[in-house]
Amino acid sequence: MDLFSRDQDYIANTYARFPLAVSGGKGSVWIGEDGREYIDLGSGIAVNVFGASDEEWVQAVSGQARLLSHTSNWYYTKPQVALACMLLEKSGMAKVFFGNSGAEANECAIKVARKYGGKRYKIISLEGSFHGRTLATLAMTGQDIFHEQYLPLPEGFTYVSPYDLAALEKAFDDPAVCALMMEIVQGEGGVEPISRAFAQRAQELCHEHDILLMVDEIQTGMGRTGALFAYMHYGLRPDVVTAAKGLGGGLPIGACLMGQKTEGVLSLSDHGSTFGGNPVCCAAALSVLGRMNQPLYDEINEKSRFMITELTGLPGVKSLSGMGLMLGIETVKPARETALQCLEKGVLVLTAKGKIRLLPPVNIPWPLLRIGMAALAESLA
């Protein structure tokens, strides 16, 4: 309780924390200060892709830390260049800018869109979306609840429903629009995938109007949905893709990837980041990205099918949504109540917009996944 009270006394009270202090962890198991073990079905909000203190990740991070921890971007480093090459090879994009977070990656995307657009400056995003907590990324977020305390927000953002193709087409009639930003699965919006038809029509409209197609893969990237990036399920070819969270596997790094249409938009001094592309963070990301392959995606999809089968028709479950190992459960009783009951049973789950949100490490062992799902089923009921 002393730790909890000191947290309240000294740290800004911006988080509705669960009553658990974590002291360590290995793989898909966290250890509390109480000495108890907890099965992790949240992976630090899709960050610990291969679980806590993954051995390959630890070796990559510690090895680079012994060599060089930071340089700034006045100099070249091998880890940054190696990560850029691997990202572009696996994604098919053309250039990348490294920052520290998903919000920074999306800020970079906004700059790319605005500079590409010239006098066109408006960006369309989707209702229910979430793109970050800086003022500009909040403005691009399509949920009023995130706006209310910070008005006036930066101008130049407009929102359309991801379920209304007519509204989408009408939004493209505005001559001031330069880009469309969307998530394939809206994480903070309730783990809701957009439809293939909507995504493909959006791409068609972007091509017809010379408007950039930008995809936020902050939470959905790094195999989370059963592909490197979720847009790959829909056969899209974005002009800008943003990534973070799982990319660093536990260390802060963000990336704004630019395609052929946008690779030359940013030039000398247009953008910068003191810590962006930090050698240790890039080494961490290389250890994650280097293990992204089809056998892993097949395993992710198999585990997803298992989880969906286990949850379908359970008492306490109203509906399921999501993709891969990013699932949302609409519950009969309040989601936080269910999450607290899971915590009591030694299983960690997350919530999002009134739903239980499941984001387990992609390599969670089958025995732990089965135990975790059984505890979740009991809590849901």
Q: Give all strands (DSSP E) within the chain, no chain letters.
A: 22-26, 29-32, 37-40, 95-99, 122-126, 157-160, 177-182, 185-186, 192-193, 212-216, 240-243, 254-258, 317-323, 326-331, 347-348, 350-352, 355-358
Q: How confident is the model at residue 1 (pLDDT cuts 50, 70, 90)?
A: low
pLDDT tens readout for residues 18-59:
999 999 999 999 999 999 999 999 999 999 999 999 999 999
User: Exposure of 152 by Cβ count < 10 A (0-12 exposed, 13-18 middle, 19+ buried)?
Assistant: exposed
Whether the predicted pLDDT of 108 surpasses 70: yes
Omega of the bond prior to 152 within 30 degrees of 0, cis?
Answer: yes
Whether the predicted pLDDT of 325 surpasses 90: yes
Q: Structure pTM?
A: 0.96
Q: Which domains does the chain have, with CATH numbers?
A: 89-275 (3.40.640.10)
**pLDDT (0 to 100) of residue 22:** 96
**pLDDT (0 to 100) of residue 92:** 97
